[in-house]
Amino acid sequence: MKVLLIQPPIEDFYLTEIRTYPLGILYLGTFLQKNGIDVALLDCLSPYKKKTIPLPKEFSYLKKIYSEKEVGPLKLFGAYYRFGLSAEQILAKIENIKPDCIGITCNFTTYFNIVGALTKQIKERFPNIKIIIGGYHATVYQKEILEKYPWIDHIIKGADENEFLKVLGLPLDADNCFTKTIPNRNLIDSSNYKMYKKNFSFIVATRGCPKRCTFCTVASMHGDSFVLRPVDNIISEMQNLYSQHDVRVFDFEDDNLSLNKSWFNELLDKIVTTFSEKDIQLYAMNGISVETLSPELLKKMRSAGFRNLNVSLVTAQDAIKKKLNRPFTNEQFEKIAQEAVALGYEVTAYLIIGLPEQTKQEIDETIGYLATMGVLIAPSFYYPPPGTVDFDWLVKEKIIDPDNWISFRSSVFPVETEHLKREDLVHYFQYIRLLNFCEELKKKYHLTQINLKNLEAINALTFAEITSGNVREEEIGIAQIKEYLETGIIKRILKK
C-alpha cells in the first residue's frame, strides 16, 4: 500500500514561511513507514511561492482597509494570495506518485475551503484513491465535514497516529509512542527549509498543555494530557538533524515547553553539553509562559542558544487574565521581560486585541504598559477558535456566525463588539507598528527618546514632501511619525 501525505496550500494576506514546517505529517509518515507502508510526502508550501488571487466575497469589507498601493514601514496588508502549489500542480504530482490513499492535514478552520475543494478535485480525477483528513479542524468538525463533503472517505480525530492504521484496516501498533519517535527527515528535502539562510527545523519536545485558557485550542486535540519526551531522545534528534541534514536553527514548537521546570533544566543542560562548540540557534516561536521562567532559567536558555524570547501578556489587567485562565500577574511578566532584555534577548511580547468584552481603555493600558519595556509589541487580533469556551459564548451571544469558517482568522478582523469596531482594530494595528518602528529607530540611532527634534536630525523630510518614488522606507516612516506627533493622526501613504 502506498500513502501520500499532503500539507495543503494556504490562501491569505500573508504567510509566515518559517511557521509551516510539516512536522505533523513527518511524524505520521515515520509511523506509517515503521508499520510497512510505502510513504511519500507532498508539502505544497515548499519551496515558497505565492500568486495574487481575487479577494473572497466574504472579505469585501476589507477593500476599504487594505491596499496593495500602501508603502512604508507602517503599511498594513495588501494583496490576497494563494501560497503554494495550484490544484493542477497537486493533481499532476498525485498522478506521478500513484498512491492508494491520501492523507491531508487539516488544522485550520479558516483554510478548510481549500482542503474541501482540493479533496473534491482529487476524488473526481482519482475516484479509487481513499481520502483521509486529520488535524485540529477535522477533529472539532468531524460530523459536519462528513455531512457536507461526502467525497472525503474518513476523518482522523485527535492526535493518535494509530487512528490512521485503524482507517486502513491494519493492526494497531502497540509500541506507537510519541516519546520514542524521531521523525524521518529523509521524507522531505531539508534544504528547502531555511531561516537566516541556514537549514531550519521544528522540534516538538512535549505534547499538550493542561492549562485550558479560554481562547486556546490545544485541549481539543490533546485533552488535559501533557507528555514529555525523554531528554536523550530529543538530543538524538537534534544530533541527527545537525549531522545528517545540516540543520543549525531549531524551533521548539511546544505549547508549553517549560511547564516542567526540572525536565526543561535537564534538556538545557544536555544541549549545552552536546552542542557546546557548535553554531546552533534555538527558538520557541510558539511562546513560553512567563509563569514557568526565572532569571536563572533565562541565563541557562541563553547559554543553550536562545537569543529571542516570545512571551504572551495577553492583557495588562490581571483580573481579565484570571478570567481567561492565564494565572500570572503583571509583576511576574515585568520581572521576566526586564531580566530578558537585560540579558540581551530580543523580546517579543504578545497581546490580544478584540477579546470579547474588551474595551479601548484596557487595550490602551496594555499597549502603554508594554511600550515602557523595550520589547517588540506583537498584536494578535482576536478571532473565534472553534472548540473553545470563548467560541461557544460568542455563538450563544450571536456575535459570530459559527458556520462562517473562512472568517476565523486574525487578518480579517472577524469579531466586532459594542466596544470595538473594525476601524478601532485597524487603528491599533497601525499604531503598534508605529511604536515598534520608533523602537527600531531608537536602537539604530542610539536615541533615548523619539521626538520631533531627534527625528528632524535624522531626516528633515516632511509628510507633505514625501513621494513614494524617491524616498526610502525609513524616510516614509519618519515622516509618518512626525505627522503623528504633530497631529495625533497616523496617515497612510499610497504609491501613485
Quick check: helix, strand or coil at residue 347?
strand
| CB distance 179 to 229 below 8 Å | yes
| pLDDT of the residue at 310 | 97
pLDDT tens digits, 413-472? 999 999 999 999 999 999 999 999 999 999 999 999 999 999 999 998 888 888 656 788
Rounded Cα distance between 373 and 218, Å, is 30
Under CATH, what is the fold of the domain 2-49+84-178? Rossmann fold (3.40.50)
Rounded Cα distance between 271 and 260, Å, is 17
| pLDDT of the residue at 434 | 97
Number of Cβ within 10 Å of residue 62's Cβ equals 20
Residue type, 66: Y
Quick check: helix, strand or coil at residue 436?
helix
Domain 189-306 sits in CATH at 3.30.750.210
Measured distance between the N- and C-terminal CA atoms of the chain, rounded to whole angstroms: 57
Rounded Cα distance between 268 and 472, Å, is 43
Quick check: helix, strand or coil at residue 334?
helix
Q: Edge-to-edge strand order for the sheet containing 198-203?
A: 194-195, 198-203, 247-252, 281-283
| pLDDT of the residue at 169 | 94
pLDDT tens digits, 360-390? 999 999 999 999 998 999 999 999 889 888 8
In 3D space, the residue among 303, 245, 225, 313 whose CA is nearest the CA of residue 269 turns out to be: 303
Most confident of 87-91, 169-173, 326-330: 87-91
Phi, psi of 20 (to 5 degrees): -110, 10
Q: Give the pTM.
A: 0.94
| CB distance 10 to 83 below 8 Å | yes
| pLDDT of the residue at 468 | 57
Rounded Cα distance between 75 and 433, Å, is 8
Beta strand residue intervals within 354-439, DSSP E: 376-381
Question: What is the band of 85 on the pLDDT scale with cuts at 50, 70, 90?
Answer: very high
Question: What is the band of 68 on the pLDDT scale with cuts at 50, 70, 90?
Answer: very high
Angle at 13 between CA 10 and CA 14, to 5 degrees: 70
Domain ranges of the chain: 2-49+84-178, 189-306, 452-494
Average pLDDT of the residues of the chain = 94
Angle at 476 between CA 472 and CA 479, to 5 degrees: 140
Angle at 343 between CA 342 and CA 349, to 5 degrees: 70
| pLDDT of the residue at 2 | 98
The arithmetic mean of pLDDT across residues 80-87, rounded, is: 98
CA distances from 178 to 56, 182, 186 (A): 39, 8, 18
Residue type, 405: W
Residue 124, sorted as left (phi over 0), alpha (psi -120 to 50) or beta, turns out to be alpha
pLDDT tens digits, 289-344? 999 999 999 999 999 999 999 999 999 998 888 888 887 899 999 999 999 999 99
Range in 39-53, 205-219, 441-455 with the lowest mean pLDDT = 205-219
| pLDDT of the residue at 353 | 96
Rounded Cα distance between 237 and 177, Å, is 15
Rounded Cα distance between 295 and 305, Å, is 16
The arithmetic mean of pLDDT across residues 390-398, rounded, is: 90
| pLDDT of the residue at 95 | 98
pLDDT tens digits, 95-110? 999 999 999 999 999 9
Residue type, 15: L
Grid-cell match 531626516, residue found: 459
Rounded Cα distance between 237 and 69, Å, is 45
Rounded Cα distance between 386 and 141, Å, is 9
Phi, psi of 69 (to 5 degrees): -90, -10
Rounded Cα distance between 46 and 51, Å, is 14
Question: What is the band of 125 on the pLDDT scale with cuts at 50, 70, 90?
Answer: very high
Tell me if 2-49+84-178 shares its fold with 189-306.
no
DSSP 88-149: HHHHHHHHHH--SEEEEE---GGGHHHHHHHHHHHHHH-TTSEEEEESHHHHHTHHHHHHH-
| pLDDT of the residue at 469 | 63
Q: What number of helices (H) and strands (E) belong to the chain?
A: 17, 19
The arithmetic mean of pLDDT across residues 228-240, rounded, is: 97
